[in-house]
Amino acid sequence: MNWYLDVLKKYAVFNGRARRKEFWMFELFNIIISIVLNVVDMSLDIQLLSLIYTVGIFLPSLAVTVRRLHDTGRSGWWVLIGLVPLVGFIVLIVFAATEGDQHQNEHGPNPKLAPAY
C-alpha cells in the first residue's frame, strides 16, 4: 500500500525515475480499487464513484508512467505511443517491464540505490 501512497504523494511529479516495483504496485492497487468501485457502482446503479476515481487518478498515473519511462532511459514523450491502438499499449507494457538503467542517467540516479523519502 505504501507504493500506492508514494505515487499519490508525487501527484504531478514528472521528473525523476520510478522503479518497476513502484510502477507495478501502483497499477495493481489501481486495478483493485477500480474493480471494487465498479462493483459498488453496479450495486448502487450509478457510475459516479468510478468516474471520480478515474479522473482523480489520471494525473498520478500519467506521472508514474513518465517516471518509469525515465528509469529505462527513455523520454516521457514515449507515453504518447499509448494513443496507438493495441500496439502502443503493448509497447508501453514492454517498456514498463524492462529493467531500468543501473547507473545514473539524464533523469537522475538509480532509484534502487537512492534513499527512500
Q: Is the per-residue pLDDT at 112 higher than 70? A: yes
Q: Give the mean model confidence (pLDDT) for residues 4-11.
A: 92
pLDDT value at 116 more than 70: no
Over the Cα atoms of the chain, what is R_g?
A: 15
pLDDT at 115: 63
The count of residues in the chain is 117
79: which 3 cell numbers?
507515453
pTM over 0.95: no
pLDDT in tens, 41-60: 999 999 899 999 999 999 99
Q: pLDDT of 79-104, one tens digit each?
A: 999 999 999 999 999 999 999 888 88
Q: Rounded to an integer, what distance in angstroms lies between the CA atom of residue 71 and that of residue 63?
A: 12
